[in-house]
Every structure is written in structure tokens, then in C-alpha cells.
Amino acid sequence: MALARIMIAKGGGLADITPGDAFEYDTDMRRAGVASCNTTSFYSWLRDLGTLPSDAPTTLRLLHRVTGQLTCEQLVDRHGVACASIRELLIDYLEERRPRLDYATLDGLARSLTRNFWSDLEAHHPGINSLRLPPEAAAAWKGRMRTYIQRRKLPDGTVEETLVERADYVQLLLSVRAFYLDIARGATEEPARWGPWAAPCPIKEAETSNRKRLKRTKARMDQRTRERLPVLETFAKAAADNLRHHAARLEAVLAVQPGATFGLGGTLFVRTKNVTTVNARDEQGKLHHFAQSEHRAFWSWAAVEFLRHTGARIEEMLEVSHHAMIQYRLPTTGEIVPLLQIAPSKTDQERVLLVSPEPADVLATIIRRVRDPRTGAIPLLSAYDYEERTWNPPTPLLFQWDRGGENSRMTGEFIRKALGDVLDIIGLTDSTGQPLAFSPHDFRRLFITDAIRSGLPPHIAQVIAGHANINTTMGYNAIYPAQTIEAHRAFIARRRALRPA
């Protein structure tokens, strides 16, 4: 239908449709408020015809959310720096740092130096044009940055404003302090370039101490891990039971013809007459999406099993491809063992994990699900990297699905919502009686804590987790009171043994 509309509006045949025509149609559909997952599938069909140029976008579904990497000039100008000389200095500094930083870090640094530092100073001190800040201006800026106003919309439609402490306050101070110190060092190496801007740093080293906050964060994360590790098996079992429940319901719906009535769990349903969907209405007329529910149940189960058995980050999980599964022959016994290659992500460190029978079964189930039934191969998918703002090359990703006739990669947002569905079923609560939430990163902390507690050497856990520093690994390890209690009991027993009868 979409291709026919374009040909009617533009004239010509399918081979005459350009990427611009497709983008214009998609923009008009979004402007009209009728955009959905099915409105961009026409582009994938058009691409399969081979008439589009090689540099055409791989998909239109995410094109409105894709920005690409901005230049240093664009990163500075988006926050409006009024002083032209300071603007040029910030651009020059970011260009100097760019080769050593990934794009996400560069983007955060630009935001800290422009929006949170200099633009804020210009807003409160109009006309400021020097890095040599008056003590009162520097103190006022630190006071403003220490907190921010958090806005939350209430059920009645009103907005509640709360003054909360800024979590990244110390990191902001570190970025600004590094900016001043880099300029001071550059002034000795390139006086003509950096010398005019050298100025006393308004942030003292003592102000960047983050020790207390790190200890509080460590204690909070340890408590979070202690609450979740005992119920991990309960959560995993609930995810498996939820999948079996929705798979059985979907099978029951597929067994009847569109428009037929059937019973399920003591409730009568009428399957909708649309043969392209697997939906049914109950006796009250409520529409139930059986295929969609089974889809969410499957991927919540797959995510739970993958994350808890590998300790991978969620972005690493979503980037796992069929090519990541390799075989390795042990040099001592000649036995062949399966390995899983984790692509570089946060720390740009590639690592290989041993695949035990449990994750091997999960990976095999995922592969059977995503295979193309016509060719038996896993479709190649070009995924957009939201951190680096670039398109990855076509890869047979495992965490993908057919979305309205167009293959799409799973998103972190979808995985989190799918995990929330399982939590709503079992209704776990924490020590305060509040609902116990599981985030994807919780499984990484649970994996490391359980591994070290079970006897895995910390330096091996560091390699498996892909941490550059073993202190990071030990930071994930929650020290259980049981360890302290057992050690104390052993000490008391030894002391009693030394006492006279």
C-alpha cells in the first residue's frame, strides 16, 4: 500500500522510488499520527529489490531518532556559549581530547563544560569572558551545581518539584578541574596556543574527594545484591513458568480458526477475524494479544537466563551474534568446548566465556526462534549504536525479532519492560515492603558475587567480567554477613580451645 501511494504521488515504477521519496512518505505518516511498526516495512521490501543506492539508510524505522556523531563545534553550540573566545577555546580543547575518547564520553564532557559550567556562569554573570573566576562566582556556581530540581508529574496532573542532590556532582568538578589543569600543562608545551587561557583552578583537589559517596554507594549496592541473590532462582523459575503459560495460550489460539470461539482457563474467547494477527476477545470484549504476550515472555526468559549465567552487560547481550559462538579444543585433553565471544563495549575489552550447558540451551533456543524459516539462516541486521551514534555492519544478531515484516534488534527499554512483567506476577518485595525491582545490571552483580562466594578467584572473575581493574570486580562483590559470622565463630572456637578446662 505504501509503495503504491508513493508511485501514485511521484509517478514512475518501483525502480524509480528514491530514499528521499521513502523518507518523505514516512515523515508525512508520522506527522499525521499514524506511524507504527508496520509503516516502514515497505522500505525493507524496496531495499531487497536492489534498486536503492549503496549509501541509502538501512532502515527508516529509527531514522527519526538517529542523529549521528556531532562535531566538536556542534557539541559546544547546542548549549549556547555567548563569549566567542571561550567558545573557540572549548572547541579547541574538545578537538584535542577527541582522539583519546569514545563519542559517549566526549559528548558528556562537552555537556559538562558548556551547559553545566560556562553557560551557567554566563547566565548568572553576563559578560564574563575569562577563566580567571572571582572566588564568589566560583563558590556560587558550586552551590548551584550541588543540587537540581527534580520534577515529577502527579496523578492529578500537577507537577511536583523536589530539590535533590546531584549524583554526578564530583564527576562534574573533576571534568572542570581537568579542563583547567590540561590548559595549564598545555601552556608550558604550547605557550602561544594555551598560555593566554591559563588561570588558577577554582576547584581544589580536596573538593573532588569522592570517598564517602563511593562507600555509601557500595553499601547500597551490597544491600541490593543481598536482597536479590536469595530470590534469583525464584525469579528465574517465574520467568520460565510465565513463558510456558503464554506459549500454551498461544498454541491454543492458533489451533482455532479466525472468528471461532474457544475456551481457555475457564474463560471464553473469540479469535479475531484478522488472519495476520493472533488476537482474541474475551466475554467482556477486551482484546488480548496472545502473540505479543508470548513474545515478551520469551525474551524476558531469554534475558534472565543469559544475564545470570554470563554476567554480561545488557549492551553486550544485545550485540551478541551467531558468529560469537565458537569452539575451542583443550590442548591438554583434546576435548572441544563451546565458547562465547563478548564484543568490546564499555571498556573496549574483548573477552571469551565458557558456555555451560544452561546458557548453551538458551542460546540454541534463541537461534531456533530467530532463524529465517525459508533459508534456515539468521537474518543479517544493521543495528544503530546509541552510544557511538553509528551504524554497525550487518550482523546475525541473536536478540532480534520480526517487527511488522522488518527485522529489528531488541532494545534495552523492551528488555526492562519484559522483566517488569515477570516481577508483576510474583510480587517480590524488599526489606521496606516496596516492590523488588530487578535491573539488567543486577544480574551482573549477582553473577560476580555468587562466583567469588563459590570459590572462583577474584582475578579470574575480573577477566570473565571484563573489568580493567580488580578493584571494580571486588566492588561488585557483596560481602555477606554469613562470611563474617562463620569467621567469628571459628575464632571463638579456637579461643575456647586454648582456655584451661
Q: pLDDT tens across 64-81, in order?
A: 667 778 999 999 999 889
Per-residue pLDDT at 312 exceeds 70: yes
Tens of pLDDT along 255-278? 899 888 998 888 899 999 887 788
pLDDT band for position 21 (50/70/90)?
confident
pLDDT band for position 399 (50/70/90)?
very high
For range 151-156, the mean pLDDT:
83
Tens of pLDDT along 109-138? 999 999 999 999 999 999 999 999 999 999
pLDDT band for position 297 (50/70/90)?
very high
Give the C-alpha separation, 406 to 381, whole Å.
10
List the domain boundaries for the chain. Answer: 2-65, 101-208, 232-423
Per-residue pLDDT at 347 exceeds 80: no
**Any bridge partners for residue 293, and if so which?**
none
Residue predicted with more confidence, 1 or 87: 87
pLDDT at site 396: 94
User: Of 90, 107, 177, 178, nearest to 142 (Cα)?
Assistant: 177
For range 405-428, the mean pLDDT:
88
Per-residue pLDDT at 39 exceeds 70: no
- The rounded percent of the chain whose pLDDT value lies above 90 is 44
User: What is the Cα 233 distance to its own chain's centre?
Assistant: 24
pLDDT at site 152: 84
Cell numbers linked to 1: 500500500
User: Of 331, 341, 345, nearest to 387 (Cα)?
Assistant: 345
User: Of 349, 348, 366, nearest to 309 (Cα)?
Assistant: 366
> C-alpha angle 359/362/366, rounded to 5°?
140
For range 364-376, the mean pLDDT:
92
Q: Of 20-24, 42-46, 88-92, which has the strongest mean pLDDT?
A: 88-92
Per-residue pLDDT at 482 exceeds 70: no
DSSP string, 321-377: BGGGEEEEE-TTT--EEEEEEEPP-SS---EEEE--HHHHHHHHHHHHHHS-TTTSS
pLDDT at site 140: 95
CA distances from 371 to 376, 387, 397, 409 (A): 5, 28, 11, 14
Give the C-alpha separation, 59 to 55, whole Å.
12
pLDDT at site 348: 55
Give the C-alpha separation, 218 to 457, whole Å.
21
Give the C-alpha separation, 327 to 355, whole Å.
10
Burial of 7 (0-12, 13-18, 19+ CB in 10 A): middle
* Coil vs helix vs strand at 47: helix
pLDDT at site 103: 92
Per-residue pLDDT at 334 exceeds 90: no
pLDDT band for position 306 (50/70/90)?
very high
Per-residue pLDDT at 55 exceeds 80: no
User: Of 359, 244, 257, 258, nearest to 293 (Cα)?
Assistant: 244
pLDDT at site 443: 95
